Structure 1
């Protein structure tokens, strides 16, 4: 794939207090493993920091992209789905929530391929009207999805056949994934379908069939380059098709 044909993939990023050298200040950043997964799959990674946004700005941003990845991070503000915060829920990053909500809506409107990862899956569900289990241990009685301390836990996911996810995984019906989340999707938003679940019923993957490519997973594919590189190849391939389609129309 030549450089000029490589699709541009936007990745949302964190806005947190960060320290480097003599500086200790708010900064936008994203773990390198995310954008390496994109470049290894043949895409060009562009980081998107949280910033003031409205529908027009979001549309302008997504128009300049061939694909979008909503990355992991802090919990979505429960006020966005009409709930009070659970004691374990993170202090909301309202600027990031607003930015990603507007971006994913614009991507859907423009049929820009997108992939949601962990928080990204939850953000997609909330943006379209769904809700979140704020603390899974209260629901399933265990911490099997989040050990804390930056340690990823391995869990099995059953994949729905005939789904986009199944096609990305070469038809695999069961996969082992790396988890780090204490929240998960509760009520599914209208228009979304569940394409992966844990053996405890927890939703692990969703898709939006009304667009050409709209996939979101609750786990962290960037943490498993061998297995889940397939998801990054999937978004890059879909973004390439989107780029070529726009070129023909132009």
Structure 2
């Protein structure tokens, strides 16, 4: 039996309390590794580290998931901060951008989820819409809406029909980064999936597949990481 591919998933550092402990911890909702396992991969958590070691880390992985989370610092794409944009996650931005760049350089399959999709776009020179009114649920509440694939894209080959997805966000892709194609849209025109043209496998989705039952996008990543 062939070995299951090792899929790294980015985490973030936040204050946390458990038992008698109260300290900063590397956090990741457990639905992410559960999704990777359900899609046929082995999950490895990647806490923020020095960007200089990103290529060494990626060299040990078969695939990479950049998880959702805090807003990307607008300085990363040369924009002034909208007052509705969250506080910068400087350490995380630097680490995840380095991982994305290393994965793209090495041809390692990469999937960006929500923030991860936005960061993939920024890594390739794109920009973001910093706030979309009415395009997210309340605090911690996921909404569901329809996304439609763009004909001829890799995403369409995974999900050929319109799909209802769980979503929670207030930012979105604006100008696409170099080599990226929009491969799905919401009914209001918001870019909901992006992918990199060419032989490599790099995709981002604006929604949160880990909060639903649809494995197709992550299965696509795992298949690419197995080849």
Bin for the TM-score computed over the shorter chain: over 0.9
Q: What is residue 109 of structure 2 aligned with on the other side?
A: 113
Unaligned runs of 5+ in 2: none
Unaligned runs of 5+ in 1: 138-142, 242-250
Q: Deviations over 1:105-160 (max 9, x none)?
A: 111111001111000000001111111111111xxxxx1x3122211111111101
Equivalent runs, 1:216-231 vs 2, <5 Å: 216-225=204-213, 228-231=214-217
Q: What is residue 244 of structure 1 aligned with on the other side?
A: none
Q: Deviations over 1:78-122 (max 9, x none)?
A: 111112221121111111100010110111111001111000000
Q: What is residue 200 of structure 2 aligned with on the other side?
A: 212
Equivalent runs, 1:168-247 vs 2, <5 Å: 168-169=158-159, 171-172=160-161, 174-225=162-213, 228-241=214-227
Q: What is residue 149 of structure 1 aligned with on the other side?
A: 139
- Does the alignment pair 1:164 with 2:150? no
Q: Deviations over 1:159-189 (max 9, x none)?
A: 01221111112x22x1111110000011111
The answer to whether the Cα contact below 8 Å between 1:178 and 1:219 also exists between their aligned partners in 2 is yes
Q: Secondary structure at the match of 1:216?
A: strand
With the length of structure 1 as denominator, give the TM-score of the two structures.
0.88
With the length of structure 2 as denominator, give the TM-score of the two structures.
0.97
Extract structure 1 runs of 4+ deviating beyond 3 A: none
Q: Secondary structure at the match of 1:166?
A: helix
Q: Secondary structure at the match of 1:61?
A: helix
Larger helix fraction of residues: 1
The answer to whether the Cα contact below 8 Å between 1:108 and 1:211 also exists between their aligned partners in 2 is no
Task: Tell me, in whole angstroms, the C-alpha distance in 2 between the residues paired with 1:132 and 1:24.
Answer: 35
User: Pairwise CA RMSD of aligned residues?
Assistant: 1.1
Task: Tell me, in whole angstroms, the C-alpha distance in 1 between the residues paired with 2:226 and 2:137.
Answer: 37
Residue 219 of structure 1 and its aligned partner are, at CA, apart by: 0.4
Equivalent runs, 1:13-162 vs 2, <5 Å: 13-54=11-52, 57-137=53-133, 143=134, 145-162=135-152
Paired residues, what number?
227
The structure number with the bigger radius of gyration is 1
Task: Tell me, in whole angstroms, the C-alpha distance in 2 between the residues paired with 1:125 and 1:151.
Answer: 25
